[in-house]
Amino acid sequence: MVVILQQFANLSILIYVISTMLSMGLGFFPKQFIEPLKDKKLVLKSLAANFILIPIITYILLQLIPLRPGLAIGLVLMAAGAGSPFMLKLVQFTKGDMAFAVGLMLILSTVTLIYMPLVLSFLLPDVAVNTVSIAVSLLILIFIPLIGGTAVKWRYSNLAKIIKPNINQISNIFLFVVVVLYLVLNYQDFLAVFGTGSLVAALIFILTSFLVGYLLGGPSKNTMTVLGVGTAIRNSSAAFVVALANFSSEYDVMAMIIVVYSLSIILMMLISGELGKRTVKVSDNL
């Protein structure tokens, strides 16, 4: 029974990842991939925040707070992947620049596909990582559904409108299933995670990521908020894909991904709500 549930948990991850990326693709026309590239300075700062500064900060953090190998790998996987679709929901709360948020998510998720396989061999020098396997997994499970959804949106816009909410609902359901199944199957290991310093490491990682993005997102307050939230909410889909393909037998890896992603959503919802209130107050005063 346990083996069957474990297999279903792994299958649920695949369904969650594919449905998430397909839903993302169904929401955007191809031209929206190019639109955000117009502000080159902001794009470069966004890339630097997510793909240079965050990995460096993660490396320093792991020197200051040594974690078990599996937990460290989970944190590194989250640090290496950017462009979570969930950031769009949070940006709505903050009343931020939605156009920039869409463009940022598309850029970050696309760069992650190329960046992640290359950087993991440097961030995890003592771990055997199959770069080709990671690249192929990301291509099949993330890039193809994303492009496929965008193609449907471009060619059959009305159909995309109809099926997107359903695909998005499937994504949300299976994310819930993944978290619940992994908690049920490994609850003792999961509880043990909280006595390892991983919770402190995750909190510092998330808040530092937000601060880095926020500071680099200026001069506009709207873009500062978007980049802050977009940098703090990491790409759990990409992290899950790599973990499933390379570290499926190490529960610590999955546990850390779940801890970081869950905490980032909670913290960013709180921060987004506060920033949203401030935005409303400023607009009312004007």
How far CA 86 is from CA of 21, 25, 41, 83, 172, in Å, comes to: 11, 14, 24, 9, 10
pLDDT higher at 183 or 176: 176
Instruction: Show the domain range for 273.
Output: 2-281
Show the tokens assigned to 171: 């994504």
- What confidence tens digit (pLDDT) does each residue in 141-172 have? 778 888 888 889 888 989 999 999 999 888 88
Number of domains in the chain: 1
Q: What is the CATH number of the domain that holds 84?
A: 1.20.1530.20
- Closest Cα to residue 228, out of 239, 217, 240? 217
Task: Flag the least confident range among 46-55, 67-76, 129-138.
Answer: 129-138
What pLDDT was estimated at residue 231? 94
Structural domain contains residue 10: yes
- What confidence tens digit (pLDDT) does each residue in 56-90 have? 999 999 999 988 888 999 999 999 989 887 787 77
Structural domain contains residue 286: no
**Is pLDDT at 209 greater than 90 in this prediction?**
yes
Question: Cα–Cα distance between 231 and 22 in angstroms, integer?
Answer: 22
What pLDDT was estimated at residue 129? 66
Average pLDDT over residues 50-60: 93
Question: Cα–Cα distance between 133 and 286 in angstroms, integer?
Answer: 54
What pLDDT was estimated at residue 118? 81
Determine the 3-state secondary structure of 145 from DSSP.
Answer: helix
- What confidence tens digit (pLDDT) does each residue in 86-129 have? 787 777 667 777 777 877 877 888 888 888 888 887 777 777 66
Structural domain contains residue 199: yes
pLDDT higher at 13 or 266: 266
How far CA 194 is from CA of 83, 123, 153, in Å, comes to: 27, 23, 43
- Closest Cα to residue 228, out of 216, 236, 238? 216
Structural domain contains residue 41: yes
What pLDDT was estimated at residue 19? 86
With the C-alpha atoms ordered 96, 101, 102, 105, is the resulting torsion angle positive or negative? negative
The CA-CA-CA angle for residues 254, 260, 262, to 5°, reads 95
The reported pTM is: 0.78
Average pLDDT over residues 256-270: 85
Question: Cα–Cα distance between 21 and 147 in angstroms, integer?
Answer: 9
Q: Say if residues 117 and 80 touch (Cβ distance below 8 Å).
A: no
Question: Cα–Cα distance between 75 and 141 in angstroms, integer?
Answer: 21
Phi-psi category of residue 76: left, alpha or beta, with phi > 0 → left and psi -120 to 50 → alpha: alpha
